[in-house]
Amino acid sequence: MTKKYDYLIIGQGITGSSFAWTLYSNKKSFLILDSQEKNSASNAALGIYNPITGRRNSLTWNADKLSNTTEAFYSKVEKILEKKFMYKKNIFRPFKNNRDFNDWTIRAENNKFKKYIKKLDNKGILTSKSGYLDVSKYLTETRKYFKSQDRYIQEKLNSKNIKTKKSKIIISDYNAKHVIMCLGINQNQLDLFSHLPLRPVSGNSIIAESNFNSKHIINKKISVINTSKNIIHAGSTYHNGFENMGTNKIENQLKKLIKKKYKIKEYKFGVRPVTKDRRPFVGRHSNIKNLYIINGLGSKGVSQSPYCSIELFNYIEYKKHLDKEINIKRINT
């Protein structure tokens, strides 16, 4: 007899993992199908969560809600797995010039920014409510845990596996009440949700050995994290399309930023799914009543995926309204 599940999750990147942990915390039965794609966005991610982002150092969308949700979510998973993969760190941004100093001085007087600023001097700005997730370890430990509970199967989804019957989707022989698509940019390979404009943006990062050491994340055009005493993770780049072309840029900036010799240990590459309005896609398919999606989180998957997972779960289980800024219905209007 085919086993019945409350949920079938397609994809075990940062987003699929977050939704799985949301289901686990709410005692729902589920199965994850994952193809372990080599160039997924999660592979190259530095895993930084940060309320102040971008070239213009703007407050990220939903900054207050995300900062409250993110650390609580991953702390809970750490306790379940008895593993450490979230690290709270301030971010230090060296000033580029006098204009940069003046801009930050103005921001420091703004109540929206003030709560995130720890220190400002003539060298740079130190901001808080940030840190990084060891994405590789988080995904590996999540996979191992759910595999041990028969909640994970490595399987690549394609159009041959998919059928629709009476406004419901059926994936292979799996019997699931709800199906959640967390496929990142690979969603574009399926006809499902084809009206949602997901754009590929490639990114690179590097892991290197160096005697550079900082207790803070350093950010100036790129970010540098000391993941251990003599190991740094640096990146990431942002190129429209699927091209693997950002490592030279990282190395050029890294030399200027740390002013130390380093030895490359690993090059990382991945492709992020990005939306035009920089808001995630979350919601239910317009015609297939048991099919849902979480996608388009771009470079902010670590901070946005817990929030989006909780929003979608509450929408499905308790009929709560989705945050209108992430609801896919905005694309139809």
Residue 3: its pLDDT value, please?
Answer: 85
Residue 296: its pLDDT value, please?
Answer: 97
Pair (327, 284) in one structural domain? yes
Provide the CATH number for the domain around residue 307: 3.50.50.60
Residue 91: its pLDDT value, please?
Answer: 98
Counting other chains too, the contacts that 18-22 makes at CB distance below 8 Å and 24 or more residues apart are 18/73, 18/305, 18/306, 18/308, 18/309, 19/180, 19/182, 19/294, 19/305, 19/309, 19/312, 19/313, 20/142, 20/146, 20/151, 21/73, 21/76, 21/77, 21/142, 21/309, 22/306, 22/309, 22/310, 22/313
Residue 38: its pLDDT value, please?
Answer: 74
- The pLDDT tens digits along the chain (333 residues) read 478 999 999 999 999 999 999 999 999 999 999 998 777 788 789 999 999 988 889 999 999 889 889 999 999 999 999 999 999 999 999 998 999 999 999 999 999 999 999 999 999 999 999 999 999 999 999 999 999 999 999 998 888 889 998 899 999 989 999 999 999 999 999 989 999 999 999 999 999 999 999 999 999 999 999 999 999 999 989 999 999 989 999 999 999 999 999 999 999 999 999 999 999 999 999 999 999 999 999 999 999 999 999 999 999 999 999 999 999 999 965
Task: Single out the residue in 274, 295, 320 at which a domain terminates.
Answer: 274
Which residue range forms the structural domain that includes residue 253? 199-274
Pair (193, 245) in one structural domain? no
Do 300 and 194 touch, CB atoms closer than 8 A?
A: no
Residue 67: its pLDDT value, please?
Answer: 85
Task: Single out the residue in 228, 257, 274 at which a domain terminates.
Answer: 274
Q: Does residue 120 lie within any of the structural domains? A: no
Counted domains in the chain: 2
Q: Return the number of other C-beta atoms located less than 10 Å from residue 314's C-beta.
A: 15
Pair (220, 316) in one structural domain? no
Residue 147: its pLDDT value, please?
Answer: 98
Pair (14, 38) in one structural domain? yes
Rounded to two decimals, the pTM is 0.95
DSSP bridge partners of 169:
164
Residue 129: its pLDDT value, please?
Answer: 95
Q: Does residue 85 lie within any of the structural domains? A: no
Task: Single out the residue in 258, 274, 290 at which a domain terminates.
Answer: 274
Pair (236, 284) in one structural domain? no
Pair (22, 147) in one structural domain? yes
Q: Where are the alpha helices (DSSP H) in 193-287?
A: 247-258
Pair (204, 293) in one structural domain? no
Question: How buried is 75 (Cβ within 10 angstroms: 0-12 exposed, 13-18 middle, 19+ buried)?
Answer: exposed
Query: Which residue shows structure tokens 């693997």?
Result: 244
How far apart (Å, rounded) are the C-alpha atoms in residues 71 and 131? 9
Do 39 and 269 touch, CB atoms closer than 8 A?
A: yes
Structure tokens at 154: 């490595």
Residue 108: its pLDDT value, please?
Answer: 93
Distances (CA, A) of 233 to 13, 249, 261: 19, 14, 14
Pair (230, 326) in one structural domain? no
Pair (247, 261) in one structural domain? yes
Residue 44: its pLDDT value, please?
Answer: 83
Question: How buried is 101 (Cβ within 10 angstroms: 0-12 exposed, 13-18 middle, 19+ buried)?
Answer: middle
